[in-house]
Amino acid sequence: MKDPGTSPSLVQALDFLGVYRDIIPDFRGFMEALRGEIPTSFRVNTLLADPDKVIKALESQGIPLQATPLGEWFWLAPTLRSPGHLLEHLMGLIYTQTLSSGLPPLALDPAPTDRILDLCAAPGSKTTQMAQMMANRGLIVANEPVQGRHAALEGNLRRLGVVNTLVTGYHGQNFPLRWRFNKVLVDVPCSGEGNARVGPWGELRGFRPMRRDFSRLQKALLVRAFDLLEEGGSLVYSTCTYNPRENEAVVDHLLRLRPAEVLPIPLDVPHEAGLTHWRGETYHESLRLAWRIYPHSLPSVGFFMAKIARR
């Protein structure tokens, strides 16, 4: 799918991403933003460190930093290529995390008195962020069905000093209904299109197109997450993909089955509204309140999220 106004070096990427041309504002800017690597960003871990002291220490090492719309915890380090080698990382004072990944916990807004389920938790980026927002109080159940990912999850919990979290290993769609939570985070497995980047010859990097249909699993996970909510509770559903069939269509499925409503997300971060139609499919009007994050508006990976309440 060649765009006459786009340089030939982007043609290969357009073959895959061009399907979203009609739903991504400034599609040319979107494609140009995908050149090169995903900008490095990190979160200062206030469970162990003071943000001002950490930032001064990093800047004293000659690392240029930029503030972000996500607040004083999140920083961009555009020239930093190996943050995992930093002493601050090894000590748990910072945690490498894309800006998009930091948005679902901010939207869920955990409080120290909450009981929270992170249904698909590994490697723990959002779990540890929520623990930080809760000041290590309350309770988080970090569920991860793949046993091979528990070591990374538990290692991050220990390194960042998290003590209010327990780890479980259920398949999310079968998580026991005998438990109830007032907040649930559902960051589901997805096709991962938001990680795609464009190489110098227009090739897709950081992403391999998959034939697997994730939507059935995503719908099952979201419905179970909703059923685990207390009356009046809320959840956030998120993916790192652009595909409406993994995003708006999944939330629309829940709205048809359960007494659910989509809520506004009170954050001041650049985004686009969710879709109400796509290729002949029509979604609930309230999905305009969902968020689509594109790399040319926020220097990060592509993302989708919706905040949902149990009426």
Q: Which burial class, exposed, middle or buried, applies to 153 when counting CB atoms under 10 A from its CB (0-12, 13-18, 19+)?
A: buried
Domain range 39-97, its CATH number among 3.40.50.720, 1.10.3080.10, 3.40.50.300, 3.30.70.1170: 3.30.70.1170
- Residue 240 a catalytic site member: yes
What CA–CA distances, in Å, run from 166 to 36, 73, 128, 136, 160? 38, 24, 12, 12, 14
Convert the pLDDT of each residue in 203-233 to its tens digit: 888 777 777 889 999 999 999 999 999 999 9
148 burial via Cβ count (<10 Å: 0-12, 13-18, 19+): exposed
Per the prediction, the chain carries an average pLDDT of 94
**Residue 200 pLDDT:** 81
pLDDT in tens, 175-199: 999 999 999 999 999 999 999 998 8
- For the record, the structure tokens of 91 come out as 């000590």
Tokens found for residue 146: 């793949």
Which are the contacts of 120, defined by CB distance < 8 A and separation ≥ 6? 143, 144, 145, 172, 186, 187, 188, 189, 221
pLDDT tens column, 17-49: 999 999 999 999 999 999 988 999 999 999 999
What superfamily would CATH give domain 8-38+104-310? Vaccinia Virus protein VP39 (3.40.50.150)
Q: Please tell me which residue, 311 or 23, carries the higher pLDDT value.
A: 23
d(CA 308, CA 226): 9
pLDDT at 280 over 60: yes
Predicted model pTM: 0.94
Find the catalytic residue in 14, 70, 103, 240.
240
Residue spans of the domains in the chain: they are 8-38+104-310, 39-97
How many other C-beta atoms can be found within 10 angstroms of the C-beta atom of residue 115? 17
